[in-house]
Structure 1
């Protein structure tokens, strides 16, 4: 098992190739740190959703990500300078979409249901989303 005292950090733009590269780096880091596969997979899937939302809808140019590995999983901290937006509040679709043309809003549901614990804060003109993943 690797030393997990030092946090793992990434900066990710909304560019598809940048997101894919970040997902691979995060997956590799979590595997090397001994995070259970199902826990790591949830964190990796959520990374894409959070980054895309921040860049496409919030106007952020990049998202800073910090990962802390813990005994039972990991905590992923997302920060961006986009518009204020709390993905943990508000309405979202609870049911499956009728067609692929009707998938909007499901990403917020994915974020909320994938994390074991989550918090959002607006700190010094930045969005700060903290998601804990445990198995």
Structure 2
């Protein structure tokens, strides 16, 4: 298990992503799962900071036989990506604004997705990426 903390004023999350990738490679994680984990790491961390106002995001990664467990904890605004409505999937790329596809990625690239608002007012998002 590895835990990373990314601060909102961190100029580039690439260093944290590189640490995550190296850790998963050391545990012989499937390359496709590593790529998905890297993408979802960036998506969740940036959204928590930029849209949720989180001062930092703590991420715990646990590789296993069924995939990679990722747990994101932050003190930003409450947001449940498991139940939030998806954007219109039928909208053409030309008609779509930039962004707004993160929920779809999150739901399609995970084996399981669970959200809770903890008693101390934090968001806790648990994923299994496979």
On whether the aligned pair clears a TM of 0.5, the verdict is yes
Match of residue 12 from structure 1? 6
Post-superposition shift, 1:18?
A: 3.3
Q: For structure 1, which segment, 106-115 or 89-98, has the greater mean C-alpha deviation from structure 2 after superposition?
A: 89-98
Q: Secondary structure at the match of 1:51?
A: helix
Q: 1:104 to 1:95 in 2, by over 3 A?
A: farther
Scaled by the length of structure 1, what TM-score is found? 0.86
Q: 1:96 to 1:122 in 2, by over 3 A?
A: same
Match of residue 75 from structure 1? 69
Match of residue 31 from structure 1? 25
Q: Secondary structure at the match of 2:114?
A: strand
Question: For structure 2, which runs of at least 5 residues remain unmatched after alignment?
Answer: none
Q: Partners of 2:126 and 2:92 in 1: how far apart?
A: 27
Post-superposition shift, 1:61?
A: 1.1
Are 2:130 and 1:129 aligned? no
Q: 1:11 to 1:41 in 2, by over 3 A?
A: same
Q: 1:42 to 1:95 in 2, by over 3 A?
A: farther
**1:76-122 deviations in Å (ceiling 9; x for gaps):** 00000001111111212224652396133201111111111110000
Match of residue 112 from structure 1? 107
Q: 1:70 to 1:54 in 2, by over 3 A?
A: same
Provide runs of 4+ in structure 1 moved above 6 Å: none
Q: Which structure has the highest helix share of the two?
A: 1
How many residues end up aligned between the 2 structures? 128
Scaled by the length of structure 2, what TM-score is found? 0.89
